[in-house]
Structure 1
């Protein structure tokens, strides 16, 4: 599998521990990545000098680095955009909060889960299929879900519970900021004086709904559209996979492509 890396602090060991050993690593030309590539190549040559069994294992488990041109971060647009979004919103969300190492790790893992829960596109043209493909499908074979929050009244005074609530608050704040920006990014940006394609019945869309729980995306199929006197569709009915029918203005709907 190919792994794309765009930030220095995401070390190769993190990917190996979570995703298994990658066969190809896409990254920028940061000196730490170049040094890691050289170090791994030297280690591989040393191992290959040993007996055949070790050499065969090393050849199957080696990593190949594919570097983008130096001083050209825009060549890694997809992963660089994700890294920029995550870093920017994470810093704005955490702010000056004092977190322990374990709490910071919990927040970062929660951010990772939020990013991997985003809907990428429609799986099919089937009007009865209201599920969107997410990075979670590629990682674990299904959508990622967040555990339900729980409260224990007799533990209200415990310091650990207050800290847990603080971490949960940071996670929710990141979700609210990032999900809003992601839905806006899915919508076409154009001047109001330019004609844009109308929403069509059967399209899979993400509904920009306020106060959604973390990692709970409202995705559904357009069931009916309501064009105005000028023929432009400004309101649509959307039926979600849970069976609910919602009437929303088009600026609250973000169509998903078929992947």
Structure 2
């Protein structure tokens, strides 16, 4: 019935509505179309899974891979965009600032939707070795996602995993489980 894409539409509307209330008077038709293309790029850059079962392959498979039939080749626009750009005459700076605002707000909401937290009435699954996780990182550029594979876990005295060591494309990191989102569980 289209529930998956309807949820994506709802998440986009939930972020765009307050943005347009705040900045709608500064956007004309052409700028809005450009902003929607940037929003489309952001939404379709989200990682779905890994393309292979090779433990060393940590490149994410995204909807853009399927739509464009090539790997993600998104290049971030040059420069730093700030709130003052909304009042400049250069429309592209305005749109890039709005795209960055959308990215920040949507990423938080999307990651929260992947990581549901409920009351501790029922036991939840701990992270395990070979789980694929998304790393919550506020310093990443727009449409960039940090994905890693859990290589070791550290449990507390009660047996709950509190932090893990992960292998990303470029490095090994130690992160608390609150900064990670389980994307693909291991097959154990």
Do Structure 1 and Structure 2 share a fold, with TM-score over 0.5? yes
Question: Is 2:78 the partner of 1:150?
Answer: yes
Deviates more, 1:193-202 or 1:226-235: 193-202
Q: CA deviation at 1:148?
A: 2.8
Q: Partners in 2 of 1:216 and 1:143 — Cα distance?
A: 13
Q: Of the two, which has the highest radius of gyration?
A: 1
Q: Partners in 2 of 1:92 and 1:245 — Cα distance?
A: 38
Report the counterpart of residue 257 of structure 1 in structure 2: 184
- Secondary structure in 1 matching 2:184: coil
Unmatched 5+ residue regions in structure 2?
80-84
Q: Partners in 1 of 2:116 and 2:53 — Cα distance?
A: 21
Question: Is 2:4 the partner of 1:83?
Answer: no
Report the counterpart of residue 197 of structure 1 in structure 2: 125
Question: Is 2:159 the partner of 1:246?
Answer: no
How many residue pairs get aligned? The number is: 176
Q: Are the counterparts in 2 of residues 113 and 144 from structure 1 also a CA contact under 8 Å?
A: no
Q: Partners in 2 of 1:122 and 1:188 — Cα distance?
A: 22
Q: How does 1:1-259 map to 2 (within 5 A)?
A: 75-95=1-21, 96-97=23-24, 98-151=26-79, 160-161=89-90, 163-241=91-169, 243-257=170-184
RMSD: 2.0
Q: CA deviation at 1:160?
A: 4.5
Higher relative contact order (CA 8 A, sep 6+): 2
- Secondary structure in 2 matching 1:128: coil
Unmatched 5+ residue regions in structure 1?
1-74
TM-score by length of 2: 0.84
Q: CA deviation at 1:188?
A: 3.9
Q: CA deviation at 1:143?
A: 4.0
- Secondary structure in 2 matching 1:222: strand
